[in-house]
């Protein structure tokens, strides 16, 4: 179908450890967006990737778009407690949110 | 920083009643969206709105739902004959363009009892 799957569903890490969430689509994506939702909050736009193989960085966050434009990843280096939340990738075609990865960071 | 404003923040309604959720999108944004999120679960697309008409809607957005832009600033979601399973957080979002990032409001928590 039109699902956008993310793995893992949950991730607990010790503060300072790295974290990666993977986003996979069954269809080729024209672009992919990433959002962060803090507990009890609303999704907040982080970035959009458009080009095949594109890599973008925002401080400790690295976003990558797959060569085939069917997958994407978000990597956080040296997690902090402020990174806690659920990370969603979004396929803008048909406005589909991925299943999300909930990150907990243990101090 | 410009915000999307949603009211009320929490609405409790009796099953079978109609509710109207209100949103004020960012003023220069052209695209508006409604999403819902059942507690802690996936964010589900309901409808997108552009140029005063629905541009896309999901299977969830059936005859029970309608959207309106009654004036130049408000964007509303009406839910008729509410059911227990309509209980969720409803998020409004707006964007400059269909492939731009969405700015979400803080949501309306709807509880149907």
- Contacts of residues B105-109 at CB distance under 8 Å and 24 or more positions apart, as own/partner, are B105/A42, B105/B3, B105/B4, B105/B5, B105/B6, B105/B23, B106/A41, B106/A42, B106/B6, B106/B9, B107/A42, B107/B6, B107/B9, B107/B37, B108/B6, B108/B7, B108/B8, B108/B9, B108/B10, B108/B11, B108/B21, B109/B9, B109/B10, B109/B11
DSSP codes of every residue in B34-71: EEEE-TTS-EEEEEEEETTEEEEE-TT--TTEEEE--S
**Kind of pairing between the strands at A101-106 and A10-14:** parallel
Instruction: Provide the number of CB pairs (under 8 Å) joining chain A to chain B.
Output: 46
Give per-residue pLDDT as tens, A58-84: 999 999 999 999 999 999 999 999 999
Query: Up-side HSE of residue B113: CA atoms within 13 Å toward CB?
Result: 5
A88 contact B CB<8A: yes
Residue B98 phi, psi dihedral angles, 5° rounding: -65, -20
Which pLDDT score is estimated for A53? 97
CB contact under 8 A, B42 and A42: no
Residue A2 pLDDT grade (very low, low, confident, very high; cuts 50, 70, 90)? low
Tokens (6 digits) for B50? 């552009």
Q: Measured in Å, how far apart are chain B's first and last C-alpha atoms?
A: 36
**Tens place of pLDDT for every residue, chain B, 113 residues?**
889 999 999 999 999 999 999 999 999 899 999 999 998 789 999 999 998 899 999 999 999 999 999 887 899 999 999 999 999 999 999 999 877 899 999 999 999 99
- Residue whose tokens read 């990865």: A101
Residue A93 pLDDT grade (very low, low, confident, very high; cuts 50, 70, 90)? confident
Alpha-carbon distances of B65 from A27, A71, B20, B36, rounded to whole Å? 29, 33, 10, 12
Residue A1 pLDDT grade (very low, low, confident, very high; cuts 50, 70, 90)? low
CB contact under 8 A, A94 and B107: no
CB contact under 8 A, A48 and B106: no
CB contact under 8 A, A44 and B104: yes
Residues of B with CB under 8 A from a CB of A: 33, 35, 42-45, 48, 56, 58, 91, 93, 98-107
């Amino acid at each position: 179908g039109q699902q956008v799957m993310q793995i893992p569903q949950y991730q607990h890490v010790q503060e300072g450890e790295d974290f990666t969430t993977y986003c996979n689509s069954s269809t080729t994506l024209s672009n992919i967006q990433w959002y962060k939702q803090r507990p009890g909050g609303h999704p907040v736009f982080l970035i959009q990737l458009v080009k095949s193989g594109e890599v973008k960085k925002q401080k400790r966050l690295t976003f990558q778009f797959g060569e085939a434009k069917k997958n994407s990843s978000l990597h956080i280096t040296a997690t902090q407690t402020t990174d806690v939340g659920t990370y969603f990738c979004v396929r803008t075609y048909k406005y589909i949110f991925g299943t999300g990865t909930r990150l907990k960071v243990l101090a | 920083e410009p915000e999307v404003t949603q009211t009320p923040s929490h609405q409790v309604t009796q099953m079978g009643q109609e509710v109207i959720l209100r949103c004020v999108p960012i003023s220069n944004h052209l695209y508006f969206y409604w999403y819902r999120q059942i507690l802690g679960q996936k964010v589900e697309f309901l409808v997108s709105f552009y140029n005063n008409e629905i541009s896309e809607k999901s299977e969830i957005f059936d005859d029970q739902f309608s959207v309106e832009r009654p004036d130049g600033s408000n964007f509303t979601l009406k839910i008729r004959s509410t059911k227990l399973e309509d209980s969720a957080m409803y998020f409004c979002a707006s964007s400059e363009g269909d492939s731009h990032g969405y700015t979400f409001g803080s949501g309306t928590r709807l509880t149907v009892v």
